């Protein structure tokens, strides 16, 4: 049972990271901001991912690393943190004896 829960945690973490990649790719397309199917997908994915990415973006803006960069590295840092968190949580759940 613990292995199944651990696998589910990893699966949702991978799904979330895929959504961040999809949002990053769609943000480069002009049609994603104009509407239509790409705009709908962009809005949906943004609604899911922005609550996690925007706090990191704000922290980076205040830091000397990300204040003046042209490239938004907040999605990449969010993905790294999400990977660490899901691996830790999945490992912790797998070791529980229920």
| Each residue's pLDDT tens digit, 12-21 | 999 999 999 9
Number of domains into which the chain is organized: 1
In our burial notation (b when 16+ CB lie closer than 10 A, e otherwise), range 74-94 reads bbebbbeebeeebeeebeebe
Higher pLDDT, 66 or 37: 37
Can you tell me the mean pLDDT for 20-24? 93
Q: Give the phi and the psi of residue 34 in degrees, each rounded to 5.
A: -85, -20
Q: Which tokens belong to 12?
A: 């949702």
pTM reported for the whole predicted model: 0.84
Domain that includes residue 18, residue range: 2-95
Is the model's pLDDT at 22 over the cut of 80? yes
């Amino acid at each position: 049972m613990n292995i199944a829960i651990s696998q589910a945690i990893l699966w949702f973490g991978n799904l979330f990271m895929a959504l961040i990649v999809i949002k990053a790719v769609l943000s480069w397309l002009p049609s994603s901001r104009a509407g239509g199917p790409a705009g709908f997908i962009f809005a949906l994915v943004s609604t899911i991912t922005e609550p996690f990415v925007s706090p990191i973006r704000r922290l980076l803006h205040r830091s000397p690393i990300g204040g003046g960069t042209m490239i938004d590295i907040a999605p990449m840092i969010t993905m790294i943190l999400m990977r660490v968190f899901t691996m830790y949580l999945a490992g912790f759940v797998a070791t529980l004896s229920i």
